[in-house]
C-alpha cells in the first residue's frame, strides 16, 4: 500500500510538472506571436485570387459574413477582421512577384473580339448602345410577358454587369488606351475589331470606321495587332466584299499594327473573320474565295485568310465549298450551337486538318444577355468565379489549335466581356460583378492561359 501511494504521488507530480512546462512553452509562443506584424510586407501577388486554396477560404468567409450581416455591428466587424487576417496570412506565405503588366507579352495566337460601338453625350452627343432597347421575342404571346422599352444610362445600361470605366465612349482616347493596357496585361496579341464599311453600322449604332486609325495607333503603342471582324452589313456579297477588303488593305495595310498571319508556306497574309458568313450561299463566296471564281481575290495583292463562322455542323461542308481558309465558333455559350459546344471541337479540328482549314475555337467567360433579351434566361452561362472560362480554355487546348479566339473583350450586352467590371447597385438594378475576385480577374485568367498555351504549343511543335 505504501509503495502504491508513493508511486501515485510521483505520477501526480510528474503530470503537474509536464503541464506547467506545456503552459510555459505556450506562453512563450503567444508572446512571440504578438511581435509579428499584422500585414505582410509584400504587395498583392499575381494570380492571388486564382489560387484554389485561398479562393475556398475567401468564399467561405464571405458567405459567413453575408449570413451575419443582420446581427450586431461588432460581430460583423469581427468576421471582417477574420477575413482580412486570412487573406494577409496567405499573402505573407508567398514570395513577391512582378506586376501583371511586367509579366505579360503579346501572344499573337490569342485573338480577342473588340467592339467600338459605345457612345456617351460627352463625346458623341448622346448615348449609343448603352441605351440598348429590350428586344422582343419573335413569338408575340411570349413577348407580351416581358417588359419593353430602352435602357436609360448612365445608371441603367444595356448590360448585366457594369464597366469600371462607366458608360464610356469608344471615341474617348483615355478609354481606348485603358482598353489597350488591359488587353496587353491579359497577354492577348490580336484585336479582332468589329467592322462595318464607311457610313454603315449596326441598327443600334453609328459608323465607326473613322476610329480605326486611332485604334491602330494605340494598339501599336502596346505592341498589339489589329485584324477585322467583318459584320453582316447590308447587301454583303462577293463584289462588295472584294471592294471592302481592298479598302481595308489599301487604307490600313501599311500600318505596323495591321495583323498579318504567317502561313505554313511562309506567306504573310491579312486575316478577316466573317461574322454570319452562313447567310450567304457557298456559290457566292466561291466567286470571291476560289481561284476560278468570277470575283476571285486569290493570288492578287488583296489575297488574305478568310475565317467563316460555324454554327451548325452542316456549315463545315459549306465553308469548305465556299473557299474559306478556316472556321471559328464565336459564341461563348457551351451547348448553344454545334460549333460552340466544346465536345464537338475535336471532330471539327479533325475535319479542318483533313481539308487544310484552320480551326479557331472561341472561348468565353460566361454568357448573360437578359438585360436586352429578358426572355433568354435558358442561354445564360454562369461564370462560376472563373471556372467556366478555364473549362473552355482546357477544351480548346485539348484540340491543339493554331489560334484561340476570345469572346470577348467588351461585348457587354451579352455578358461575355473580360474587361474590368465593378459592383454597382442603383434604385432599380443590382448589377452582377466578379466578386470575390478583383475587377481584373478575367484579364489575369487570360494571361495565365496565354502562358500555358505558349508552353503547350512548344511541346506540340517538338
Confidence category of residue 33, pLDDT binned at 50, 70, 90: very low
Regarding the domain with residue range 106-461, which homologous superfamily does it belong to in the CATH classification? Glycosidases (3.20.20.80)
Phi and psi angles of residue 223, each rounded to the nearest 5 degrees, phi first: 65, 30
CB-based burial label for 402 (10 Å; 0-12, 13-18, 19+) = middle
State pLDDT tens for residues 310-331.
999 999 999 999 999 999 999 9
Query: What is the distance between the alpha carbons of residues 140 and 143, in angstroms, rounded to a whole number?
Result: 5
Q: Does the pLDDT of residue 338 top 80, yes or no?
A: yes
The pLDDT of residue 6: 59
**Predicted confidence band at 264 (pLDDT cuts at 50, 70, 90)?**
confident
Helix intervals (H) in 158-237: 173-185, 212-221
Per-residue pLDDT of 95-136, as tens digits, reads 344 454 455 689 999 999 999 999 999 999 999 999 999 999
The residue assigned the cell 471582417 is 80
Closest residue by Cα to residue 196 from 240, 231, 226: 231
Name the pTM for this structure. Answer: 0.79
Residue predicted with more confidence, 42 or 225 = 225
Rounded to whole angstroms, the maximal C-alpha distance in the chain is 118
Q: Are 253 and 268 in contact (CB under 8 A)?
A: no
In the chain, domain spans: 106-461
pLDDT per residue as tens digits for the range 227-260: 999 999 999 999 999 999 999 999 999 999 999 9
Question: With contact defined as beta carbons under 8 Å apart, do 310 and 361 qualify?
Answer: no
pLDDT at 8: 63
Q: What is the pLDDT of residues 434-462, one digit of tens each?
A: 999 999 999 999 999 999 999 999 888 76
Amino acid at each position: 500500500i505504501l509503495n502504491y501511494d508513493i508511486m501515485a504521488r510521483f505520477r501526480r507530480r510528474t503530470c503537474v510538472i509536464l503541464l506547467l512546462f506545456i503552459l510555459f512553452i505556450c506562453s512563450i509562443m503567444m508572446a512571440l506571436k504578438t511581435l509579428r506584424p499584422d500585414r505582410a510586407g509584400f504587395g498583392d501577388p499575381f494570380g492571388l485570387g486564382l489560387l484554389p486554396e485561398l479562393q475556398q477560404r475567401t468564399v467561405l468567409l464571405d458567405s459567413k459574413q453575408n449570413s451575419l450581416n443582420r446581427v450586431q455591428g461588432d460581430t460583423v466587424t469581427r468576421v471582417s477582421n477574420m477575413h482580412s487576417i486570412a487573406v494577409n496570412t496567405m499573402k505573407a506565405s508567398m514570395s513577391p512577384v512582378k506586376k501583371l503588366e511586367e509579366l505579360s507579352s503579346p501572344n499573337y495566337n490569342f485573338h480577342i473580339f473588340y467592339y467600338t460601338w459605345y457612345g456617351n453625350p460627352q463625346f458623341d452627343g448622346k448615348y449609343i448602345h448603352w441605351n440598348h432597347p429590350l428586344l422582343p421575342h419573335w413569338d408575340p404571346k411570349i413577348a407580351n410577358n416581358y417588359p419593353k422599352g430602352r435602357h436609360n444610362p448612365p445608371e441603367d445600361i444595356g448590360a448585366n454587369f457594369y464597366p469600371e470605366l462607366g458608360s464610356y465612349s469608344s471615341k474617348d482616347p483615355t478609354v481606348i488606351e485603358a482598353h489597350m493596357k488591359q488587353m496587353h496585361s491579359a497577354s492577348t496579341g490580336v484585336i479582332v475589331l468589329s467592322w462595318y464599311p464607311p457610313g454603315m453600322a449596326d441598327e443600334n449604332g453609328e459608323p465607326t470606321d473613322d476610329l480605326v486609325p486611332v485604334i491602330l495607333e494605340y494598339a501599336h503603342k502596346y505592341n498589339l495587332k489589329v485584324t477585322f471582324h467583318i459584320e453582316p452589313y447590308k447587301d454583303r456579297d462577293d463584289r462588295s466584299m472584294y471592294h471592302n477588303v481592298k479598302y481595308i488593305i489599301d487604307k490600313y495595310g501599311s500600318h505596323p499594327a495591321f495583323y498579318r498571319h504567317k502561313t505554313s508556306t511562309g506567306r504573310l497574309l491579312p486575316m478577316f473573320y466573317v461574322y454570319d458568313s452562313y447567310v450567304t450561299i457557298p456559290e457566292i463566296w466561291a466567286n470571291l474565295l476560289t481561284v476560278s471564281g468570277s470575283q476571285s481575290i486569290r493570288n492578287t495583292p488583296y489575297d488574305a485568310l478568310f475565317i467563316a463562322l460555324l454554327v451548325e455542323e452542316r456549315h463545315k461542308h459549306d465553308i469548305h465549298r465556299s473557299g474559306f481558309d478556316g472556321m471559328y465558333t464565336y459564341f461563348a455559350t457551351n451547348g448553344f450551337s454545334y460549333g460552340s459546344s466544346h465536345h464537338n471541337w475535336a471532330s471539327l479540328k479533325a475535319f479542318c486538318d483533313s481539308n487544310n482549314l484552320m480551326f479557331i475555337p472561341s472561348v468565353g467567360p460566361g454568357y448573360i444577355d437578359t438585360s436586352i433579351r429578358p426572355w433568354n434566361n435558358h442561354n445564360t452561362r454562369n461564370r462560376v468565379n472563373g471556372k467556366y472560362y478555364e473549362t473552355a480554355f482546357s477544351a480548346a487546348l485539348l484540340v491543339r489549335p493554331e489560334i484561340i479566339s476570345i469572346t470577348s473583350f467588351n461585348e457587354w450586352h451579352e455578358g461575355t466581356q473580360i474587361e474590368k467590371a465593378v459592383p454597382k447597385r442603383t434604385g432599380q438594378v443590382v448589377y452582377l460583378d466578379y466578386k470575390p475576385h478583383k475587377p481584373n480577374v478575367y484579364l489575369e485568367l487570360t494571361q495565365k492561359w496565354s502562358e500555358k498555351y505558349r508552353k503547350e504549343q512548344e511541346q506540340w511543335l517538338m
